[in-house]
Structure 1
Amino acid sequence: MYIYLKKHFSISIVLVFLISTLFYPMFADAAQVFLETAQTTMGVGQRFEVSVYVDSKEKTVNAFSGIVTLPSFIAPLTIRDGNSLVALWSNRPAISENDISFAGIIPGGWKGSRGHLFSFIADASSIGSGEINLSEINVLLNDGKGTPDSILFEVLPLNVDRTTPVVEFVKNIKDDEPPEIFKLNIGHSDGLFSGDAFVVFTAQDKGSGIDHYEILETKNKLSDETKGKWEYAKSPYRLQDQSLRSFIYVRAFDRTGNVRVSVYTPQKPKQSSSISIILTIFLLLFIIVIFFIRKIYIRNAK
């Protein structure tokens, strides 16, 4: 019996070794997405910051997406993506109940071991023990094909009790600078908005991060950018004026309320109705004057 067990134990060890040898190179080379926070055991009412990082494992990658899921005793409060390595968000990190979804790209790619994607502030709202999980994580290689990379990711264990002192871990962000200057690009695509014209925009803010955008289309150039009927907008945005004769204003707000405005000037702006009326009046007056001058000339000629 002892010989039988020893024999099978030896076979198991060999199998584990062979499997580890076979799969280790794949996992060792896999990109890693991981979470970090200052303290994993905390008291009820503690506010803390969790950061999401990526390690490309010496490969150049250019796109990231996934979902962060918090346990029921942890309440997500706000997102911080001001110092993210992501240049363009197709799905800016957003809170939906206890999930945070995200998707973004880096034109030209990125390679490194500690790339900051974003962070979020959360509140330890009640006693509990659990994990912050990652799911549907995707990292794409910058190979011109969008090849998915193999992924490794870890959960972040958390424990909330009534005995651990509540301390201040969250640093307030002082941000009195507006978002960076950004451009508006007009485009058409058969696969988007049924071929209608749209505008694409994205702003960067290295302080508190971009909160939202607003858009305004107008026939006349604005003299006061704080006035007008602005609408909440996301990029890409289908334009109301498909003739592209309107001025297009987009303003980007950061999370502390600073604003940056960008404007698209039409190549052939349509004349305002008031100017058209004035020109018409002058034309009529000119015709009347010419008529009377001609009439007087004919009378004198007789």
Structure 2
Amino acid sequence: MKKYLFLLLATLLIPNQVLGAAIRFQNSALGQVDVLLDTEGDAINVIDVSLRFDPKVFQIASLGDGNSAVNFWITKPGFSNDDGLVSFSGMIPGGMMGSAVKLINLNFSKAPASEGSFRVSGSAYLNDGSGRSISLAGDALVNPGSMPGANLSDEISPESFVPQLIQNDSLYDGKWALVFSTTDKGSGIARYELIENSLVLGGGRFSSSSAGSPYLLKDQKLASDIYVRAVDRAGNVREAILEAKNKPFWNWTNAAVLLVLLLLIVVAYVFLRRRYK
């Protein structure tokens, strides 16, 4: 829904559509192909792309967004071999131009010995304040080379990152939210996991479902430590911690320490009383 609202607003601002820019494919490893954007001299800040293929000819094992020029995904890259479709949309703040701007990479488990083709559709939006878009319609030739590409290894965790608190009247009615983002140079980011309270003494567990950014905080008093995990498609993890802005003195950790001290005092009192009785 967020994607369609964004694109609807962008469409309302578009007086016309200009020609230029193209999607092309480039081999980067055995069975792996980078999806590149040639902006043809224009700076682009938003892309919305669909790639259609014949499932009888191609089968995709996985995809990744490692080293992608896209910083924020409106719709994270995904694929369906049944439908013969790869789709994604995202933003490049500040815009970017070039003849080989990397968007995503595709890892194939099945491909023809010679070239095949993908049908490209979608738009790229200019970073000039006009709201104009560039059509990306056309066909692109693909030659993944030797198979398979599904076993590409990735043993490196995502890049370090720092979550940040934000509060804006236009977002979640002015409530506190958390924004976070990082990149992964290998297989790409698969998901983020988040928990708001301390892990000490059973404070909670990471959510197994994906957490999106911006994330509406449940603790609006900002009294909880926040743990964010970035997990790449190979299962590697990078964890970031944001300490509570308004951490209360009385919490589970302090309570545990106080309890231990009280027990020690009681034990010492009983020991001394028996000794000198």
TM-score where L is the length of structure 1: 0.66
AA aligned to 1:186 is L
Aligned to 1:155: 139
AA aligned to 1:115 is V
Query: 34, 37, 44: which one pairs with 2:24?
Result: 34
Aligned to 1:119: 105
Query: 72, 80, 83: which one pairs with 2:55?
Result: 72
Check conservation: 1:34, 1:154, Cα contact below 8 A. Answer: no
Residue 198, structure 1, aligned to residue 182, structure 2: no
Query: 149, 153, 157: which one pairs with 1:170?
Result: 149
Question: Any unmatched runs of 5+ in structure 2?
Answer: 1-17, 263-277
Cα 1:112–1:183, aligned 2, differ >3 Å: closer, same or farther? Answer: same
Residue 82, structure 1, aligned to residue 66, structure 2: yes
AA aligned to 1:78 is S
Cα 1:276–1:71, aligned 2, differ >3 Å: closer, same or farther? Answer: same
Residue 187, structure 1, aligned to residue 166, structure 2: yes
Check conservation: 2:168, 2:174, Cα contact below 8 A. Answer: yes
Radius of gyration: which is bigger? 1
Question: How far, CA to CA, are the matches of 2:111 and 2:152 in structure 1?
Answer: 23
1:186-227 CA-partner distances (Å, limit 9, x unpaired) = 223444334332211111111221111110111x3x4699x9
Cα 1:274–1:178, aligned 2, differ >3 Å: closer, same or farther? Answer: closer
Cα 1:72–1:258, aligned 2, differ >3 Å: closer, same or farther? Answer: closer
Cα 1:130–1:224, aligned 2, differ >3 Å: closer, same or farther? Answer: farther
Q: Percent identity?
A: 31
The count of residues paired between Structure 1 and Structure 2 equals: 234
Query: 93, 96, 106: which one pairs with 2:92?
Result: 106
Counterparts of 1:1-302 in structure 2 under 5 Å? 27=19, 30-36=20-26, 48-73=31-56, 74-96=58-80, 97-124=83-110, 131-135=117-121, 137-143=122-128, 145=129, 147-156=131-140, 167-168=146-147, 170=149, 172-218=151-197, 220=198, 222=199, 228-231=204-207, 232=209, 233-270=211-248, 271-273=250-252, 275=254, 278=258
Check conservation: 2:189, 2:232, Cα contact below 8 A. Answer: yes
Cα 1:204–1:224, aligned 2, differ >3 Å: closer, same or farther? Answer: farther
TM-score where L is the length of structure 2: 0.71
RMSD: 3.5
More helix by share: 1
